[in-house]
């Protein structure tokens, strides 16, 4: 499924016209200006799966954030944006093949990490509350309490509950259960499975982070099925050879002087993996 058919970024001349007009300001950077134009990237044409490949500083994340901002996609965490982000996106244009569905979103590694940290934070709070209740139980049960007015009614109920239950039952009645925690890889995969629904446009920024090779291959299958059978379109930035091998994916090599489309087997880091394992082939 294709919702977003193309996206145009400002050319170097348009960027120069804007930045030249800003020379007297106090800013020493015009980010995201002058990032994508370094590699002459002015237009991306999309397939059901489109991948942006390149090293750090190549502009993969910048491109995804610009597209997400221009389209008004949902997102969970904040991102690095300068005072010129809005000026830059005003110069961008896009074409839809079909209307972009509500619920379409950008998913970054920060979203996944925050999700895992939130689970731990919730459980830390529950554990702290449980420890407090264990001590509270003893204080309440063996206190010399005497009701003197209706203002003491709530405390009377607390004393009665403590005296009629064991310590473990008292704690269970007053604190919720821990949220089940998984390994980082399992939690990351569950996050993607929860956020990616049928019929949507999804921008994924290095989704392989926190995922083992096995989990990356599970994610590969999940994304392939979502694109093929469930009406999803993906625009993804990744270094993962597993994700780069996705069937039918259109891959932009953003490490080239002029951004070029390549098959995954010709990408530099994929060839590095291939050469390494070929060198050690006899050990397998």
The parts of the chain modelled with pLDDT lower than 50 are 122-126, 150, 156, 178-182
Per-residue confidence (pLDDT) for residue 123, from 0 to 100: 46
Chosen domain end from 158, 174, 190: 174
Domain match, 10 and 51 both: yes
* DSSP 8-state code for residue 74: B
Asked whether the beta carbons of 32 and 66 are under 8 A apart, the reply is yes
Q: How many domains does one find in the chain?
A: 2
Per-residue confidence (pLDDT) for residue 282, from 0 to 100: 93
Residue 192 is assigned to a structural domain of this protein: no
Per-residue confidence (pLDDT) for residue 56, from 0 to 100: 83
Reported pTM: 0.76
CATH number where 92 lies: 3.40.50
Domain match, 121 and 242 both: no
Q: How many CA atoms lie within 13 A of 30 on its CB side?
A: 19
Radius of gyration of the chain (CA): 27
Per-residue confidence (pLDDT) for residue 260, from 0 to 100: 93
Residue 238 is assigned to a structural domain of this protein: yes
Domain match, 91 and 127 both: no
Domain match, 91 and 162 both: no
Residue 195 is assigned to a structural domain of this protein: no
Determine the Cα–Cα distance for residues 128 and 178; give it in Å rounded to an integer.
11
Domain match, 220 and 259 both: yes
Residue 16 is assigned to a structural domain of this protein: yes
Q: Token match 């379409």: residue?
A: 104
Residue 189 is assigned to a structural domain of this protein: no
Per-residue confidence (pLDDT) for residue 283, from 0 to 100: 93
Taking Cα atoms as reference points, which of 107, 65, 75, 72 lies closest to residue 192? 107
Residue 184 is assigned to a structural domain of this protein: no
Determine the Cα–Cα distance for residues 60 and 62; give it in Å rounded to an integer.
5
Taking Cα atoms as reference points, which of 34, 24, 91, 78 lies closest to residue 59? 34
Element (H, E) at 70: helix 60-71
Domain around 158:
112-174
Give DSSP secondary structure letters for 252-280: EETTSSS-EE--GGGSHHHHHHHHHHHHT
Per-residue confidence (pLDDT) for residue 180, from 0 to 100: 46
Determine the Cα–Cα distance for residues 4 and 60; give it in Å rounded to an integer.
17
Determine the Cα–Cα distance for residues 165 and 170; give it in Å rounded to an integer.
6
Binning the chain into helix, strand and coil, the percentages to the nearest 5 are 50, 15, 35
Domain match, 104 and 129 both: no
Determine the Cα–Cα distance for residues 283 and 145; give it in Å rounded to an integer.
75
Size of the chain, expressed as the number of residues it contains: 284
Residue 160 is assigned to a structural domain of this protein: yes
Q: Token match 């940290």: residue?
A: 117
Residue 260 is assigned to a structural domain of this protein: yes
Per-residue confidence (pLDDT) for residue 181, from 0 to 100: 45
Domain match, 23 and 97 both: yes
Domain match, 250 and 273 both: yes
Domain match, 102 and 14 both: yes
Question: Peptide bond preceding 147: is omega within 30 degrees of 0, i.e. cis?
Answer: no
């Amino acid at each position: 499924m294709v919702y977003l058919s193309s996206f145009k970024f400002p050319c170097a001349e348009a960027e120069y016209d804007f930045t030249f007009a800003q020379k007297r300001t106090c800013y020493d950077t015009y980010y995201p200006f002058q990032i994508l134009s370094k590699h002459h990237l002015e237009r991306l044409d999309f397939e059901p799966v489109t991948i942006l490949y390149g090293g750090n500083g190549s502009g993969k994340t910048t491109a995804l954030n610009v597209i997400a901002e221009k389209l008004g996609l949902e997102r969970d965490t904040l991102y690095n944006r300068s005072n010129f982000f809005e000026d830059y996106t005003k110069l961008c244009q896009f074409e839809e093949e079909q209307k972009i569905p509500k619920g379409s979103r950008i998913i970054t590694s920060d979203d996944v990490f925050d999700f895992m940290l939130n689970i731990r934070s919730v459980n830390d709070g529950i554990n702290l509350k449980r420890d407090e209740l264990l001590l509270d139980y003893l204080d309440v049960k063996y206190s010399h309490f005497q009701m003197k007015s209706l203002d003491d009614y709530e405390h009377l109920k607390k004393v009665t509950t403590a005296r009629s239950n064991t310590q473990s039952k008292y704690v269970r009645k007053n604190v919720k259960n821990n949220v089940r925690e998984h390994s980082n890889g399992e939690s990351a995969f569950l996050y993607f499975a929860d956020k990616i629904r049928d019929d949507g446009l999804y921008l994924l920024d290095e989704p392989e982070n926190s995922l083992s090779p096995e989990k990356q291959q599970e994610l590969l299958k999940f994304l392939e099925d979502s694109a093929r059978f469930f009406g999803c379109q993906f625009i993804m930035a990744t270094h993962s050879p597993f994700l780069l091998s996705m069937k039918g994916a259109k891959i932009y090599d953003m490490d080239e002087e002029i951004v070029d489309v390549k098959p995954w087997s010709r990408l530099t880091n994929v060839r590095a993996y291939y050469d390494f394992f070929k060198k050690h082939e006899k050990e397998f």
